[in-house]
A and B are shown apart, each in its own frame.
Chain A
C-alpha cells in the first residue's frame, strides 16, 4: 500500500446505485485521515447524510482512534446521520489485531452499523455503501431526515431526474484507501 498516495483534504467519487427502485447518485467524499488535515476535513462533515468510518483490523492504533473520529462525526453532523463502522483488510485475517466481536460491541454501544470488509478483494465494500444508502433512504421515507433542510446532504434534483446526492464522508485511517 506504499504506492497509494495520501489523500489531500478530500477526494470525491460518485456512484449511481438503485435503492427501492430509485436511482440514487452517491457523492462520496473521501476525507484525508492525516492529522494535519483534520482542521480542514472537519468542515466537510456538515451536511453529510451518512459517514463510513474505516479502521484497519491489523492495526490496533487505528481502532483506538475511532472514538475521536466518532466524536467529530457526532458533533459535526446532524443527529440522523447514518454512521457505518467498517473494519478494513478483512482478507488479512492472520494478522488480525482487532476481533470482530470487540468491534461489533463497540458499534452496538455507539449505535453504529458494522461490517468487516476488504478494499483489496472488494469483499463487503459494495454492501457497506449500499446499506448506508438504504438506511438514509429509509430515514427520508419515514421523515426523520428532512430533504428540505439545508444540511440534509440529500438533494432531489428535478433537472437531473431521479438522482439524489449523498455526501458520504468516509474516513480512511492512514492506509485504508479504496485503491
Chain B
C-alpha cells in the first residue's frame, strides 16, 4: 500500500513536473509572442528612423541618429528582435558588441562564451544531447516532442531553402549574376571571392580599410549618405521580404529560436570567424544558422549543417553587401555628375578643358620648332633688310640668353647654394659668441656686395678694369671683359655714324653688346668665387670690395652707353617719329634688367665669400 501510494505520489510528482514543464513552455511561448510583438514594433520604429536617415545626407547627423537608435535598442534589452541586428550592419564593432551584450543579459537561455565556431557548435550540441537524454529517461512525452521537433526542423529547412532561393532570385535580379549552390563550402567561398571587393567598400573599418577611407572621403566631400545608412536601407528592404516568410517560421520555432539566434549572433560577433565580422551577416543567421546548433542531433551533423548555414549566410550577406556597394557607387556617381554639371550644363567647358588644354611634349616641341624656324627666318630677313623692321621689340633678356652669362650665373648659384648650407652647418657647431662675431664680419661682406648706390663712369673703362682685376689677388684675367667693352664702344660709335637708323636694329645691337659685357663680368665673378673658395690666404673682404668696384664700373659703363645712344637717337630722329620715345624708354628699361643681372651675380658672390670668411675665422680659433 505504501508502495502504491509512493508510486502514486511519484506519478503525481511526475505529472506535476510535466505540468510545470508545460507551463514553463507556455510561458516561454507567451514571452516569445511578446518578444515578437516588440520586435515588430521596433522594426517599424527602425524603419521610420532609417527613412529619416535616408533624407539626412550629412554624416554627423547620421551618426547622432545612429546613436539614438543604439539607445533605443539598448533600452529594449532582451526583447531585441533578431532581425534588428541588420540595423547595425555597418556599425563599428564595439557598438554591436554592446548591443549583443544587452541582449544576452535579457535572454533566458544559458549561454557560454564561445571561442571558435567548432567548439561552439560542439558545446551547444553536447548540451542539447545531455538535455535530451535526461528528458528521454524522464518521460516518453519527451520523445514525442523530439519527433515533433524533427518534423519542425524538416519543415523549417524546407522553408529556409525556399527563402534562400528567393534571396538568390533577388540577387540575380539586381546583379544579373548567377551563383548557384548556396549550401556547399565551395559555393559559399566562391560567392565571397566575387563579392569581396565590393564587400570591402561597405565593411568600411573592418576589412577594406583602404577602400573604406576612400569611401569616407568621397562621402565627406560629396555628401553621399554613408554606408551605414545605405546598408540599413538595404537591410530594411530585405527585412520586409523576409518578415513575411519568417512569420510562420517564427511561430513554428518559438521554443528554440531565441537561443539559436543569440548563439548565432555570438558566433558572428565574438568569434570573428567570418572576414565580414562586422554585423552585416548576422541577420542571416536567424534563418539559416540560428536553428542549427539547437536542432542538430549530433556534434558532427550539427557542424555540417552549421557550416552550410554559415556559408549560405555569408553568401547572402555578401550579395547584399555587393548590392549595397553598387548602390553607394551609383549615388556617388550621380552626385559627382551633378557637382560637375553645376553651372556648366552639358559639360561643355569641362569637356573643352579636358580635351584641348593639355598638349603633350611632342606637340610642344613641334610647335616650338616651327616657331624657331619662323624666328630664324625672321632674323635672317631682319639682317638682310634692316629697314623692314618686321620683328618684335628686342629686349635685353633675349640677348642675355644668347651669351655665356646665364650659365655662369647658374653655376655660381650652385656654388653659392652649397656654400650657404655648408656655412649653416659650420655655424651650428660653434658657440654663440663666435657665431655673432662671424656673422658681424659676414654682414660687412653682404653690405659690400649689395651695391646700393649708383656710380658715374669716370676715366677710361679699360684702364680701371685692369687696375681692379689686378687688385684681386686671384689668377683672373681682365682681357675678355676689356674686349667686351671695346665691342660696346664700337656699337655705340657705329650708331653715331649711321644716318638712317632702324630703332629695332639699334636696340638689338646695343643689347647684345651690353649682354656680352655683363656675361664677361658674370664669368669673372664666377671664376673669382671659385678661386676665392680654393685659394688659401685669400681675403674675402678685399675680394668683395674689388668685385663691388668692378660691378659698379660695368653698370656705370652700361648706363653711360645707353645715355649716349639715346642722345644720338634723339638728335637724329625727326620729331614726327612716334617710335623714338618708345625706343628710348625701352632702352633704359632694358638697361635696368642688365643691372639686375649684375646684382644677381653679386648676391651669389656674397654667399660664397661669406662662407669663405666663416671658414677663415673658424680656422683662426
Contacts and interface: CB of A to CB of B under 8 A. Distances in A.
Interface of A: 8-10, 12, 21-23, 27, 29, 36-37, 39-40, 42-44, 46-47, 140-141, 147, 156-163
B407 A12 contact: yes
Nearest to B371: A161
Interface in B493-541: 526-527, 530-531, 533-534
Contacts of A140: 361
A21 to B, nearest CB: 8
Given A9-B526, A43-B414, A160-B401, A23 B369 contact: yes
B372 A23 contact: yes
Contacts of A37: 530, 534
A47 B372 CA distance: 25
Given A12-B407, A29-B407, 4 more contacts: A9-B530, A12-B411, A29-B411, A43-B411
A33 B368 CA distance: 37
Interface residues of B: mostly helix, strand, loop or mixed? helix
A21 B369 CA distance: 9
Nearest to B415: A43
Q: 3 closest A-B pairs (Cβ-Cβ)? A: A9-B530, A161-B372, A161-B368
B408 interface: yes
Contacts of A163: 372
Interface-centre pick from A10, A40, A156, A160 (highest chain B CB count, 10 A): A40
B152 interface: no
A9 to B, nearest CB: 4
B369 A161 contact: yes
B162 to A, nearest CB: 59
A161 B475 CA distance: 38
Given A29-B411, A147-B361, A159-B398, A43 B417 contact: yes
Interface string B347-378: 00000000000000100110111111001000
Nearest to B608: A40
A156 B364 contact: yes
B156 to A, nearest CB: 63
Nearest to B417: A43
B217 interface: no
Given A9-B526, A37-B534, A159 B415 contact: no
A31 to B, nearest CB: 10
Contact of A162 (B365, B415, B526): B365
Interface in B390-411: 398, 401, 404, 407-408, 411
Contacts of B369: 21-23, 161-162
Contacts of B526: 9
A138 to B, nearest CB: 13
Contacts of B401: 159-160
B418 interface: yes
20 contacts: A8-B531, A12-B407, A21-B369, A22-B369, A29-B411, A37-B534, A39-B533, A40-B415, A43-B417, A43-B418, A44-B414, A47-B414, A141-B361, A156-B364, A157-B368, A158-B364, A161-B367, A161-B375, A162-B368, A162-B372
A22 to B, nearest CB: 5
A157 to B, nearest CB: 8
Given A8-B527, A10-B411, A23-B372, A42 B404 contact: no
A51 B365 CA distance: 24
A9 B527 contact: yes
A22 B364 CA distance: 11
A163 B365 CA distance: 9
Contacts of B361: 140-141, 147, 156
B417 to A, nearest CB: 7
Contacts of A39: 533-534
